[in-house]
Amino acid sequence: AIEPLVLGIETSCDETGIGIVRGRTLLSNAIASSMDEHARYGGVVPEVAARAHLEELQPAIERALAEARVRLEDLDAVAVTSGPGLAGALMVGIGAAKGLAVSLGKPLYAVNHLVGHIAADILTPDSEPLEYPTIALLVSGGHTSLLHVRDLTTDVELLGETMDDAAGEAFDKVARILGLPYPGGPEIDRAALDGDPAAIRFPRGLSRASDLEKHRYDFSFSGLKTAVARWIERAEAAGEPVPVADVAASFREAVVDVLVTKALAACADRGVPRLLLGGGVIANRRLRELTLERAAAAGVTVRIPPLSLCTDNGAMIAVLAAELISSGRPASTLAFGADSTLPV
């Protein structure tokens, strides 16, 4: 089919995502999140995520089919995230995808989660097609990656990634230090509203001249997290009240400054005047603001898909497979498994 009807399954982290597309058209995007179940642990617990996928997959598939008004038999292909992500969580989606594809006699496409985030842009309503090459910055609770995309289906280069915590994870951990609930990103964003981003100068990870030689496009947030913890310990030891808004605003500024600086450095170095954002941290107000401000000054066009397509979802997996099918890529054999560190 020129416009293949594809069902995509995404279970790499805590979202159970089932999306259906026809070619580049979004038909449905059903999501169930186990975020609430992880809240009391302050982070995603792999076993809890895998069990939630088992429970949520079937109802999510039914919701997606009903909303798209298609039947399983109508599908041209099934697609699934095979990595990177949590191995146990990935396995649940892969098992379901293989079962569906075999029982329906349809081709199965194993796809890369990070490339899926890039493909999500295709589904942005009323937008012009994504132009290549583009630099992509993907920031979520599970990843922080900078990529050079020359062609979505054949040429995606990973420029750098986090050496320790993901950006969203850093928000979650610092929120915990500040006594704010999980997930911490939205909480810190809110707390920062009344704060001064210049109140405290927190470190920008891997940004010194000596770091930039080897880690120009890599990120590190664990030192920043420790710096926040130390700063609060010192204030408390001195009997001073902790200025939560200032700490939140200054921490957020440090994260966002590094993300935007490195993404725009990649655009400049590679001569690419386009930047695509993806991942749940894109919800951050300051990240959007600073990206748009500095990109405009640098002559870089920014694309930000709607948040429902930026967070983990099945539609981005389905549309990536649809692109692969249209480009003539053969289906995957059944001999693949979960690959928690799958390269792009």
Residues 155-214 close enough to bind ligand KG4 by CB under 6 A: 168-169, 171-172, 183-186, 189
Is 112 annotated in a binding site? The answer is no
- Least separation in angstroms between CB 106 and ligand KG4: 28
Residues binding Zn ion: number (CB under 5 A): 2
Q: Using omega within 30 degrees of 0 as the cis cutoff, is the peptide bond preceding 84 cis? A: yes
Side chain identity, residue 188:
I
The CB-nearest residue to ligand KG4 is 185
- Least separation in angstroms between CB 265 and ligand KG4: 21
Task: Give 229 or 235: the residue with its C-beta nearer to ligand KG4.
Answer: 229
Is 156 annotated in a binding site? The answer is no
- Looking at the DSSP bridge assignments, the partners of residue 156 are 149
Binding mask 293-312 for Zn ion (x = CB under 5 A): -------------------x
Alpha-helical (H) ranges within the chain are 35-38, 46-68, 87-104, 113-119, 167-177, 184-191, 209-215, 222-237, 244-270, 285-298, 307-310, 314-326
Contact of residue 183 among ligand KG4, Zn ion, none (CB under 5-8 Å per partner type): ligand KG4
Is 117 annotated in a binding site? The answer is yes
Residues 278-307 close enough to bind ligand KG4 by CB under 6 A: 279-281, 283-284
Helix, strand, coil tally for the chain in percent (to 5): 50, 20, 30
- Looking at the DSSP bridge assignments, the partners of residue 248 are none
- Taking the alpha carbons at both ends of the chain, their separation in whole angstroms is 26
- Looking at the DSSP bridge assignments, the partners of residue 16 are 32
Distance CA 131, CA 152 (A): 10
Contact of residue 323 among ligand KG4, Zn ion, none (CB under 5-8 Å per partner type): none
- Least separation in angstroms between CB 178 and ligand KG4: 13
- Please calculate the CA angle 57-61-66 and round it to the nearest 5 degrees: 150
Which one of the spans 137-145, 165-173, 232-240, 247-255 is the region binding Zn ion (CB under 5 A)? Answer: 137-145
Is 312 annotated in a binding site? The answer is yes
Cα dist from 6 to 18, 152, 305, 327, whole Å: 10, 17, 20, 15
Contact between 11 and Zn ion by CB under 5 A: the answer reads: no
Residues in contact with Zn ion by the rule CB under 5 A: 140, 312
Residues in contact with ligand KG4 by the rule CB under 6 A: 13-14, 140-142, 168-169, 171-172, 183-186, 189, 279-281, 283-284, 311-312
